[in-house]
Amino acid sequence: MDLKTYERFKKFMRMTTSDTDAEVLMAIRKANELLAKHGHDWDKIFAAKVKVVQEIGDNSSNSSNKTSGNPKYKYSPRPRADSVKHSGQHVLLIIEKAIAGIDSNSAIYRFIISLQAYYIKNKYLTDAQYNSLKQIVQSL
């Protein structure tokens, strides 16, 4: 999906927060139409399988990108005392493999980066974090 189409898709999604039911219904229908036109569906969107491609020299997203930069993560989960902690070189290798296989514009990529930051800070991943990371790598 090209960047212009993706921006239109995002616009339709923002319209679904309207208080006007007719506007919400129209926005969902337009989003469905846009996905179908480009050979995508909601399953691909939720699985982060849709890649957004920006043409070289296209700066159209700069003005509308309100979330640029690195987000600050305030939430740091505290594992239970009896939980499994995963550490070692194999964890870093899995993180690197996940980063290499995911589009850097996706939410999953940002999630992996947050896992990497957590691992660097704490020297381990919790069992839930590790299992999520493994599932992402297995889906590549």
Q: What is the mean pLDDT of residues 30-35?
A: 90
Give yes or no for a contact between 108 and 136, defined as CB atoms under 8 angstroms apart.
Answer: yes
Q: What is the mean pLDDT of residues 103-126?
A: 87
Confidence of residue 33 (pLDDT cuts 50, 70, 90): very high
- As a whole number of Å, the end-to-end CA separation of the chain is 19
To 5 degrees, how large is the angle CA 76–CA 79–CA 80? Answer: 145
Give yes or no for a contact between 1 and 40, defined as CB atoms under 8 angstroms apart.
Answer: yes
Instruction: Name the pTM for this structure.
Output: 0.43
Tokens read off for 55 = 């043409």
pLDDT tens by residue, 7-29:
888 898 889 888 888 888 998 99
pLDDT tens by residue, 65-91:
444 444 444 444 555 555 678 888 888
| Residue 138: half-sphere exposure toward Cβ, Cα within 13 Å | 6
